[in-house]
A and B are shown apart, each in its own frame.
Chain A
Amino acid sequence: EAGVTQFPSHSVIEKGQTVTLRCDPISGHDNLYWYRRVMGKEIKFLLHFVKESKQDESGMPNNRFLAERTGGTYSTLKVQPAELEDSGVYFCASSSRSVFSNQPQHFGDGTRLSIL
Chain B
Amino acid sequence: RKEVEQDPGPFNVPEGATVAFNCTYSNSASQSFFWYRQDCRKEPKLLMSVYSSGNEDGRFTAQLNRASQYISLLIRDSKLSDSATYLCVVNDYKLSFGAGTTVTVRA
Residues of A within 8 A of B (CB): 33, 35, 41-45, 48, 56, 59, 91, 93, 101-102, 104-110, 112
Contact = CB atoms under 8 A, between A and B. Distances in A.
Interface in B77-107: 87, 91-100
A53 B92 CA distance: 19
A41 to B, nearest CB: 7
Given A102-B49, A104-B46, A107-B43, A42 B4 contact: yes
Given A42-B97, A104-B34, A110 B43 contact: yes
Interface in B33-56: 34, 41-46, 49
Given A104-B34, A105-B46, A107-B44, 4 more contacts: A42-B2, A101-B31, A104-B46, A110-B43
A103 to B, nearest CB: 8
Interface residues of B, number: 23
Contacts of B87: 43
A106 B91 CA distance: 13
A58 B2 CA distance: 17
Given A101-B91, A104-B34, A45 B96 contact: yes
14 contacts: A33-B94, A35-B97, A42-B100, A48-B93, A59-B94, A101-B93, A102-B31, A102-B32, A102-B91, A104-B46, A107-B43, A107-B45, A109-B43, A112-B41
Contacts of B92: 101
B9 to A, nearest CB: 14
Contacts of A107: 43-45
A48 B93 CA distance: 9
